[in-house]
Amino acid sequence: MSNDIKKYIKYVKKIIPIYSKDKKEFIQLLTQKIIEFSNEHDSCSYQDIVDEFGSPNEVAGSYIETLNSDEIIKKLNKKKIINIFISVIIILCISVWGFERYRINQLIDEAKHTKMKTYTAEEYKEKIAKEKQEK
C-alpha cells in the first residue's frame, strides 16, 4: 500500500468522529477499493485518488449521512461519558498521589523537629550497665 493511500485513509479516519464496527468495515472496504484502483492505474497519486473517490471530507460525509442520527448521538454520548470517566479517574489518582506526598512531607517535618538522644558507644555501655545493676 502506497503512502498516498495510507495518507488518504488516515484523513478519512480522522474526520469520522465515531468508532464502531461499521466504521471499521467501511474503512476496510474503502481501502480495498482504493488498492484495486491503484493497481489498475500505474503511478497512482494522492490527487488521482481524490479525483476518483472524492476528498476525505466528502467520503467521510457520505459515510456519516448513511448513519442513523440516533446512532450517531448515542455513540458520541458514549464517547463523552468514557472521556468524563477517564478524567475522573485521572483526577482521583492525582489527588491520592498529592495527599500521599503531603503526608510524607508532614512525617519528614515531624522527624526533623523531633529531638532524639544520641549516645556514644561508651555512654551506651554505661547505660546498659546501669540497667543491669537496677534489675
- How many angstroms separate the CA atoms of 2 and 44, rounded? 9
**Cα–Cα distance, 2 to 43 (Å, whole number):** 10
> Which pLDDT band holds residue 3 (cuts at 50, 70, 90)?
confident
Tell me the percentage of the chain whose pLDDT exceeds 90. Answer: 37
pTM attached to this predicted model: 0.53
DSSP state of 19: -
The long-range contacts involving 62-66, CB below 8 angstroms and separated by at least 24 positions, are 63/16, 63/23, 63/26, 64/16
